[in-house]
Amino acid sequence: MRRLSAAELDAERRLVEAAQADPARFGELYERYVDAIYSFSYHQTGSHQQAEEVTAETFERALKHLPGYRWRGVPYSALLYRIAASVVSRHRRRPPFLELHEAHPATKPGPEDAWLSADSGRTLRSALARLPEDQRTVLLLRFEAGLRNAEIARTIGRTEGAVKALTFRGISALRKHLDRDEVLT
């Protein structure tokens, strides 16, 4: 996801305010961010079913808390990623469940299909899955969602320095995992 310009941020602020005045307008925010939140959730959980649940719960919570939301000059997606990370964390504490697969594959590829299409994507996903949750979350928010360190810090409730350290440690650990996987294959 690319960074928003000042004009785009202002337009988004007006959209959030419109949704606060008329909750039916929340659909516009949903349409704008559903694919990004689903992709983030899928990369966090590795499961289509769990990603769908996380995405649905994320937007349900966002809509519920929309009346009390105060604009702080950062993209609304920062709040959505924070909610999604919280929901993922809660889902991880649940006992594991068996994912059911449909007999017919979807006709329209999902946003994660591009990432999973190549061996390198599978290798990267496997290496990401082995990182500690906080490092994985920071890397996905930085490189998948395109958030800046300050936005990530607000999203996960950490300092900007902590985000920089988590990013460095995450990238270092990811390199080690990828190097190890390359040697093993």
What pLDDT digit, counting tens, does each position of 64-98 carry?
999 999 988 888 989 999 999 999 988 777 655 44
Q: What is the pLDDT of residue 160?
A: 85
Residue 94 has a CB neighbour count (10 Å cut-off) of 8
Q: Is 29 exposed, middle or buried (0-12, 13-18, 19+ CB in 10 A)?
A: buried
Token look-up 């899928």 returns 42
Sequence-separated (6 or more) residues with CB below 8 Å from residue 92:
133
What pLDDT, in 10s, does the model give residues 10-56?
Answer: 998 999 999 999 988 999 999 999 999 999 999 888 888 889 999 99
User: How long a stretch of residues is the chain?
Assistant: 185
This prediction has a pTM of 0.60
Q: How far is 155 from 54, CA to CA, in rounded Å?
A: 17
Q: What is the pLDDT of residue 99?
A: 46
- The mean pLDDT value for 126-144 works out to 87
Angle between helices 76-92 and 48-65 (to 10 degrees): 130
User: 169 and 134 in contact (C-beta within 8 Å)?
Assistant: no
Q: Which structural domains are found in the chain, ordered by start?
A: 6-94+112-184 (1.20.140)
Residue 135, H or E segment: helix 133-139
User: 17 and 31 in contact (C-beta within 8 Å)?
Assistant: no
- The mean pLDDT value for 115-122 works out to 57
